[in-house]
Amino acid sequence: MWRRAGARLHLAGAATGAGRSVRRRPPPPIPSAPSSSASYSPPSRHSNGVFWGSVGAPCRRLSNQPSGGGGGGACWSCGATGAFLSCGACGSVQPVDPAVDYFQIFGLKREYNIQGNNLEGKYKDWQKKLHPDLVHSKSEKERGFAAEQSALVIDAYRTLSNPLSRALYLLKLEGIHVDEEKTINDPELLMEMMEMREAVSDASDSQTLEKIQSQIKGKLETWSASFQEAYDKKDFERAVEATQRMRYYERAVEETVKKL
Amino acid sequence: MLRTGGRRLLAPGLRRLGLGAGEAGPAAAAAGLRAYHERVVDHYNNPRNVGSFDKDDPNVGTGLVGAPACGDVMKLQIRVDEGSGKIVDACFKTFGCGSAIASSSVATEWVKGKPMDEVLTIKNTEIAKHLSLPPVKLHCSMLAEDAIKAAVKDYEAKKTKMGQNGENSPSEKVAEA
């Protein structure tokens, strides 16, 4: 599910114009190059199934600028510089630049806590500029760009608005790919989750359900904070564990929502 | 999709038909799109062996496994006849997508009546083939294979701990959770 980014790598060469100054370095070798600041040694089969070298990694490391606006290149239509997603001068929608990450789209630093940044407002502003409905009279080329850009922005918004997906995205940007196939048998963790799901399924009235729901949300908060801490310390092993727990709690919350 | 048919202990996870890993949900099934193979739907609608054994029963082995990437939990229990070493009964409880539920259901059917060393040879690929699982759901069958192994391992660990005296009187209670 997290493999998309790598496929678009080759577009960087085609789509970029003269304006790009920093993006042309060849990607660093994928196999066992950990990101610069990680002290995490790449194991072959770690206990929780994490391994290095996801496809998207080299692309992401090219654009290490933490804050917004990947710069933007020259507009294909009018030639003005600094065209980021859409051109500020003529309004033409630009082709998707695979080197731009979701945080850059919203002008955010690459970090887990993004509260108070008016994500929704910025999302709406982007859609006002990129939405395919606004370009129906433009060229087929530009309509294509608009379809892709607005889809990208929707994806970015959804990923960043949800804590778990945001956490997983951050890990992905660090080159960490979580093995989907890994089964775990940590008895304590699984017992807890089993009992939780049983409680949800046995609950018959909305009061009980709401109570359970708020308990689970509390746990989500705790582990969300745990992720924050681990991520900030670059303790990616703990960070992944935190996301695993968050996933279980989110599933449980979904069940309560369905029943309510 | 709440089941109103009485308080039979259906697999609690049954309410989640097809909502794992972002695939087509109930809407697709209702619209007639074959999102799930009939056997999977069958195991979902007519679950076999859902339930719980007393995990403290000396003749019960409990396998508890999970797939953190999907948030699935699977419990598979076996009741072993000490004399013959054969599995005489099995039950499961799974919270996860339809494929995970069906995989564990199939697993409980397949282990019944078999000796323990034979069930250890049950491969996830066989379960997947039986259910025509798509590639994206293969890990569900893997979970079931791991659950079988975990249950056997648990039973054997218990036996080792209890020592060699053959004074076990298998308790016939089946505790409903």
ipTM associated with this complex: 0.71
Indicate the pLDDT class of residue B161, thresholds 50, 70 and 90: confident
Phi, psi values for residue B31, rounded to 5°? -75, 0
The answer to whether A185 touches B150, Cβ cutoff 8 Å, is yes
Give residue A79's Cα distance to chain centre.
31
The pLDDT of residue A28 is: 44
Cβ within 8 Å, pair B69-A181: yes
Quote the CA–CA distance of A154 and A99 in Å, as a whole number.
Answer: 17
From residue A194, how far is each of A42, A151, B16, B22 by CA, in Å? 31, 37, 15, 22
Range in A162-166, A191-195, B20-24 the model is least confident about? B20-24
| Secondary structure element (H or E) that encloses residue A176, with its range | strand A176-178
Question: DSSP assignment of A221-246, as one string?
Answer: HHHHHHHHHHHHTT-HHHHHHHHHHH
pLDDT score of B14 more than 60: no
> Beta-carbon neighbour count of residue B160 at 10 Å?
9
Question: Mutate which of A194, A209, A243 to test chain B, going by most B C-beta atoms within 10 A?
Answer: A194
Range in A51-55, A137-141, B80-84 the model is least confident about? A51-55
The answer to whether A167 touches A174, Cβ cutoff 8 Å, is no
Question: Which residues touch A152 (CB under 8 Å, ≥6 apart)?
Answer: A96, A105
CA angle B145, B149, B150 (to 5 degrees): 115
**Residue A241 in tokens:** 């564990």
The pLDDT of residue B34 is: 53
Indicate the pLDDT class of residue B173, thresholds 50, 70 and 90: very low
The pLDDT of residue B87 is: 96
Could you read off the pLDDT of A190-207 as tens digits, one per residue? 999 999 999 999 998 989
Give the distance between the most distant pair of CA atoms in chain A.
Answer: 64
Indicate the pLDDT class of residue A132, thresholds 50, 70 and 90: confident
The average pLDDT across A235-249 equals 94
The average pLDDT across A144-156 equals 92
For residue B66, give the nearest of A183, A200, A259 by CB distance. A183
Residue B79 in contact with partner chain A when CB distance is under 8 A = no
The pLDDT of residue B164 is: 59
Indicate the pLDDT class of residue B152, thresholds 50, 70 and 90: very high
The answer to whether B137 touches B99, Cβ cutoff 8 Å, is yes
Handedness of CA A188, A190, A193, A194 (dihedral sign): negative
Nearest C-alpha in B relative to A187: B64
Q: Look-up: residue for tokens 């799974």?
A: B94
Measure A122 CA to nearest chain B CA, in Å.
Answer: 27
Quote the CA–CA distance of B101 and B48 in Å, as a whole number.
Answer: 10
pLDDT score of B119 more than 60: yes
Range in A65-79, A245-259, B91-105 the model is least confident about? A65-79
Q: Is the pTM of this model over 0.80?
A: no
Burial status of residue A188 (CB atoms within 10 A of its CB: 0-12, 13-18, 19 or more): exposed
Interface of A with B (CB under 8 A): 1, 48, 178-187, 189-191, 193-194, 197-198, 200-202, 244, 247-248, 250-252, 254-255, 258-259
Cβ within 8 Å, pair A181-B22: no
Could you read off the pLDDT of A78-109 as tens digits, one per residue? 999 888 999 988 888 999 999 999 999 999 99
State the pairing for strand pair A176-178/B60-67: unpaired
Nearest C-alpha in A relative to B10: A201
The pLDDT of residue B165 is: 55
Task: Tell me the range of A47-61, A175-189, A205-219 where mean pLDDT is highest.
Answer: A205-219
For residue B66, give the nearest of A193, A202, A255 by CB distance. A193
Question: Mutate which of A51, A192, A201, A227 to test chain B, going by most B C-beta atoms within 10 A?
Answer: A201
The average pLDDT across A149-172 equals 95
Cβ within 8 Å, pair B68-A259: no
Quote the CA–CA distance of B138 and B128 in Å, as a whole number.
Answer: 6
Q: How many helices (H) and strands (E) does chain B have?
A: 6, 3
Residue B4 in contact with partner chain A when CB distance is under 8 A = no
Nearest C-alpha in A relative to B151: A185
The average pLDDT across A202-231 equals 94
**For helices B98-111 and B138-162, angle between their N-to-C axes, nearest 10 degrees:** 40
